Structure 1
């Protein structure tokens, strides 16, 4: 049991209490430069994941076309199932590799990888996907895994007529 002194409170940017986190189980937080330094490795891992994911999708389509009640245990279907197991293990090894780098693979289909960091003093997840040359997105710690909010917002992207400003 963790005592209160070993736990950290989490607050929203507005200062509202969210929850306590256990300092011992909290992953390392990265600054943007630390995550950016990992991009060459992430690009390699990301391209490998895409290759494995595409192969998996091809096998799933092939297995679906081969599947019927009588062909459930035919050599072709069993071979495809074995290939799927191998690919699943490869995906899991890439997931572990990302974890060793301090991140998480949060969306296999989009190959979204996230690293815990801070934005304006608040915990957030930096987000990277293949095709990104830099860390271009983030999400709040209580957001949905894979959610991506741009780090830099261009003024032309803002429709100021839709913004609502509280009067209090």
Structure 2
């Protein structure tokens, strides 16, 4: 008896796909791309389900690596787009407020960004604040990776425990 995941993809076909050589690598690349697309578009609340399902299908270590790399890549794309799109307009209109934001971020280093990520502030808001605050791409990438890695690791570990 076939269990249908969708009309075109039955469970038997899914098992055949996963039994192919290098299937885990292709699946990891798919999760990397999915995480990158989700983070580049700023969709809220998608990190945990993607991490959990990748952990269930790939195992803990590969899932953490794939989702973290994808989330970092997508975050950097979104950050660069926001920096480019808001630099001249925001400096002209909100220059005084942005100078205060720059001062607060430069005084705190990457810890405020890591803290915002850890407490669950939406990704788009943290990225927008980072882009307005003239945070360097390197500091943004490091703080983003450190801030989202615990959530990815917990969800992927829970998924792998299934």
Coarse TM-score class (shorter-chain normalised): under 0.3
The structure richer in strand per residue is 1
The structure richer in helix per residue is 2
Normalised by the length of structure 1, the TM-score is: 0.26
- Pair member with larger Rg: 1
